[in-house]
Chains A and B, each alone.
Chain A
Amino acid sequence: MNEIVHARNLVKRYGDFTAVNGISFDVHSGECFGLLGPNGAGKTTTTRMIACVSPVTEGELTVDGLDVRREPRRIKSLLGVVPQEDNLDPDLSVRQNLAVYARYFDMPRAVADERIDESLALFQLQDKQHQTIWALSTGLKRRLAIARGLINQPKILVLDEPTTGLDPQARHLVWQKLRYLRSQGVTMLLCTHYMEEASHLCDRLVIMHQGRILVEGTPDALVEEHAGREVAELHLRGPQREKVLARLAARPGLTVEEVEDILYVYARTADGRADMAELAPESERVVYRHANLEDVFLRLTGRGLVE
């Protein structure tokens, strides 16, 4: 079966609050699929429903063809879950953490030992294998959490904000490992509010906002379609701002988003930068850059990344 996760009109309500509001998507075998959006968009709730720890209110949700309502144990034996919160066993060693977790999957000791050796090597944790968890850095803990999620050789690895709270070096190391896993054909579902992470790792993604899916596509296509190529960030105040906005309205090739004291000007054409440069002199500060997923989000929601 090519579809590992299949969701149709999926709804999750907590009392009067609707956390997930009728979303549909598929995750295909071998791809890294992203759920991108701000905190509170419904990403974690979606992964909790996939992991069978949050009952589905309405809609259809299957994992590897199995219904989450009917076969939670079988689904959970096929999943690898890397949660956002650190829930490693703090009193056990690195190696014991993996061994105890393997036991939950009824894995024979010899098989578990072999896999633990492999994943300690892959995640560069051999030297630390007898250390207690509380002595590890955040980056090492996160690598161990990913290794733990892979111990049962899952059909799909579900990662919830895998690099939140990591310093840049540790983050890049995690990304490198995830890229390696992707190259090995591991199917991944990645939740992140971090646009750069999504464009780095995802083959396909959806952008979520307030429990709904806004768009779906590859990162490049989404940027191209919704934000164009070039962006100018103009820092402007008062009357200057009004003047520039008036001028912008007269130029069909440019669109603008206002966020606080910054104007984001988007150009779709190849010579967009020249067009935008004429606006620049009156601005306190101008930054030119390529458009990215953050711009897509901004364009679609018309506001900043707030909760």
Chain B
Amino acid sequence: MTVALPRFALQAPDVSYRAYHVWQRNRDVYLRLWKSEAIWPLAEPIITLLALGLGLGGLVELESGQRYIEFIAPGLLAVFPMWAAAGECGWASFIRMDTQKTFNAIIATPVSIEDVITGEIMWGATRALINGAYVLAVTAMLVLLDSPLAILSLPVIYLSGLMFASISLSFTSIARSISSLNYFFALFITPQFWLGGVFFPLDGLPDWAERASWFIPTTHVVAIYRGLVEGSLEWSHLGDLAWMVVVTVVFYVVALFAMRRRLIQ
């Protein structure tokens, strides 16, 4: 008697340099559409700095004596690139995956689905970097940066971009429709924007809330930027970096497996 054993479908991810071709494809489309793509990320940080930094900031007095607009500047460096990476690997990736069937077109070539995922995340992080460089330039021009170390935030922005892109693409790979992504943005990204230590100091919060904030990615990103922008780096920032690396790797692997499951059937 023969018994049919279920085959193990678990396969090692097949990632290669061809991920770069996927990145190049996204860059080419961006360069063709940049005029309409760029307006939102260009306008929003300035509006926020004016409205909250100057407008609301006029009414706020911080315990540390720091000007409010200076307090929120490093936070903006964290959250706008977060939006750029999450949006790119959320809505934009979903459209490429589902509406345009771009992923299907690509995996009919020697490029693997894992290459596609890797290229998408690299591109999401690149969008974060473009956005972050711009916010950095704006805050520098407004003389809100105290330390030349601020320039070091660029590599951190890329890392945080990889992290948010990976998290976002994990959700995209299991989203049923583009509107299911609303849950991710409403319940995950937007709270980070408002509650991640950008607009008010977390040490003023009750104990439980401060502890809970440790689980929120932006908390760690913002902590590093505050150190860089204010020139006050501490050893604890290495912990923040490690936290980001671990979360990035975990969600990258989730995205790899979930997307393979979705598209290779």
Residues of A within 8 A of B (CB): 14, 51, 53-55, 72-74, 76-77, 79, 81, 83, 85-93, 96, 100-101, 103-106, 152
Contacts and interface: CB of A to CB of B under 8 A. Distances in A.
A89 B110 contact: no
Contacts of B105: 83, 87-89, 101
Contact of A87 (B18, B21, B32, B101): B101
Nearest to A97: B105
Interface residues of B, number: 26
B265 A89 contact: no
Contacts of A103: 21, 24-25
Listed residue (B24, B28, B109, B111) with the most chain A CB atoms within 10 angstroms of its CB: B109
Interface of B: 9, 14, 16, 18, 21, 24-25, 28-29, 32-33, 100-102, 104-112, 263-265
B29 A89 contact: yes
Nearest to A45: B265
A173 B161 CA distance: 47
Given A73-B110, A81-B108, A55 B28 contact: no
B28 A53 contact: no
B108 A79 contact: yes
B46 to A, nearest CB: 27
Contacts, number: 73
A53 B21 contact: no
Given A55-B264, A92-B29, A92-B32, A87 B110 contact: no
A100 B109 contact: no
Given A55-B264, A72-B112, A85 B101 contact: yes
A76 B109 CA distance: 5
A92 B28 contact: yes
A87 B100 contact: yes
Nearest to B111: A104
Listed residue (B18, B32, B104, B110) with the most chain A CB atoms within 10 angstroms of its CB: B110
Contacts of A55: 9, 264
B94 to A, nearest CB: 15
Contacts of B110: 73-74, 76-77, 104-106
B39 to A, nearest CB: 16
9 contacts: A53-B263, A54-B264, A81-B108, A83-B101, A89-B29, A91-B33, A92-B32, A103-B21, A104-B109
B112 A51 contact: no
A81 B104 CA distance: 11
Contacts of A91: 29, 32-33
A21 to B, nearest CB: 15
Contact of A51 (B18, B24, B32, B108): B108
Listed residue (A76, A92, A103) with the most chain B CB atoms within 10 angstroms of its CB: A103
Contacts of B14: 73
B100 A89 contact: yes
A83 B263 CA distance: 15
Contacts of B101: 83, 85-87
Contacts of B9: 55
A14 B264 CA distance: 12
A121 to B, nearest CB: 23
B107 A53 contact: yes
A6 to B, nearest CB: 20
Given A73-B112, A83-B104, 7 more contacts: A14-B265, A53-B108, A53-B264, A77-B110, A87-B101, A92-B28, A105-B110
Given A85-B101, A89-B100, A101 B29 contact: no
A96 B30 CA distance: 13
Nearest to A85: B101
Contacts of A89: 25, 29, 100, 102, 105
A76 B112 CA distance: 10
Contact of B108 (A74, A83, A100): A83
Nearest to B24: A103
A283 B21 CA distance: 65
Contacts of B18: 104, 106
A219 B106 CA distance: 34
A144 to B, nearest CB: 12
B29 A104 contact: no
